[in-house]
Amino acid sequence: MEVGMRINPRGDIADRKGQALEIMTGTSCGNILGTLWEKWGMAGLAGLGIEGEEAEEIWKKQNKKPQPFGTFLKGLDSARSQARRVARFPTRSGEFSGAAGTIHDLVLQGLLDGIGKAERVATSRHASIDEAAASWAWLLAAGRSAGQDWHFESNARDRAGAWLAATKTLLAAGESLLATEPDEVDASRVEWQSAFDALRVVTGESI
């Protein structure tokens, strides 16, 4: 049976008998947006002229880590710029496991969120030798290894040495992908993907 929907001032939704959408008196736009975002956020962004991968990145980020919509909208320009940068990459952070996945995520984080954030992640406690080695490989490739070796066991540093060249290639491909002209993005994406595939081979994680 079809039912209507009511949004109350707290932003909670409930079914209603009459098949209409009801926004109760006193419900702020922020609470309406919060309630509707998951299902109609993409349509809302399209209404603002933001579409495609860029819109998806912005929608996902707000869905995953919601911030007040006033703040969200004020930061939309920078969010759009960041979303465009993220959308250039054919792969996403968190998509891959293992050492290659760790290096991939550090490279992406360093390029998209800033090298300082990635460095903090790289020098934090590691769950395995492979993760430590991956972090050390990224620190070496990014030129951020000075004075950090005490975080890493020698066998992790040794293993990282074998991954360094492929990590550097991936980092260079990422930098190139961000810097390239829009009409050359496709070629740069292929380079990125090839670099990542090569990294997976040297880390022994290639399928």
Count of residues in contact with other proteins, rule CB under 8 A: 48
Q: Of 5 and 198, which has the nearer Cβ to other proteins?
A: 5
Q: How far is the CB of 52 from other proteins (least distance, A)?
A: 17
Site for other proteins in 1-40 (CB under 8 A): 1-5, 11-14, 16-40
Q: What is the 3-state secondary structure (H, E, C) of 77-112?
A: HHHHHHHHHHHHCCCCCCCCCHHHHHHHHHHHHHHH
Q: How far is the CB of 17 from other proteins (least distance, A)?
A: 6
How crowded is the C-beta side of 36, counted as CA atoms within 13 Å?
Answer: 21
Which burial class, exposed, middle or buried, applies to 47 when counting CB atoms under 10 A from its CB (0-12, 13-18, 19+)? Answer: exposed
Site for other proteins in 41-70 (CB under 8 A): 41, 43-44, 46-48, 62, 66-70
Q: How far is the CB of 25 from other proteins (least distance, A)?
A: 4
Beta strands in the chain (DSSP E): 4-7, 13-16, 21-23
Binding site for other proteins (CB under 8 A): 1-5, 11-14, 16-41, 43-44, 46-48, 62, 66-70, 73-74
